[in-house]
Amino acid sequence: MAMATTAAQPRGIILLAHGSRDPLWRAPIEAVAAQVRVSAPGTSVLCAYLELCPPTLPEAAAELAAGGARAIRVFPLFFGVGKHAREDLPRLVAQVQASHPGIAVELLPTAGEYPELTALMASIALG
């Protein structure tokens, strides 16, 4: 007897960065979102910011939830693991999870914690 398969839950991705009033500062974060869309057409991906510019993490999560996302991955685009990564982000993600109990919310490690990114930056530096 064959097992029934279930369709993958619609997933959304939030690229979370610090934020700036300068719209040019956001260009690299938005470029990552554009690359996600090219690499995985149909994937819902939004940028969100801790402060100084919209949208906030809760706003982006609400937009993904309204669009039907049943799972959300939050990818903090931070190189270091400072107070924001250690304290603020887990608290914010817990708030998002509490606001959307039917949605699985996953906080990924910060970008700087991935050895692949460290190796890529070293390769770029070496030219």
- The model's pLDDT over 95-111, given as tens digits with 9 standing for 90+, comes to 999 999 999 999 999 99
pLDDT bracket for residue 84 (50, 70, 90): confident
Distance CA 107, CA 79 (A): 15
In sequence order, the 6+-apart residues with CB closer than 8 A to the CB of 90 are: 107
Produce one character per residue of 82-104: b if its CB has 16 or more CB atoms within 10 Å, e if not: eebbeeebeebbeebbeebeebe
Q: Is residue 18 annotated as part of the catalytic site, yes or no? A: yes
Mean pLDDT of 8-27: 91
CB distance 74 to 107 below 8 Å: yes
φ, ψ of residue 2 in degrees (nearest 5): -75, 145
Domain 11-126 sits in CATH at: 3.40.50.1400
Q: What is the mean pLDDT of residues 86-97?
A: 92
In the set 18, 37, 73, 84, the catalytic residue is 18
Q: Taking the complete model, does pTM exceed 0.85, yes or no?
A: yes
Question: Hey, where are the domains in the chain?
Answer: 11-126
Q: Measure the CA dihedral 38/92/103/49, to 10°.
A: -20
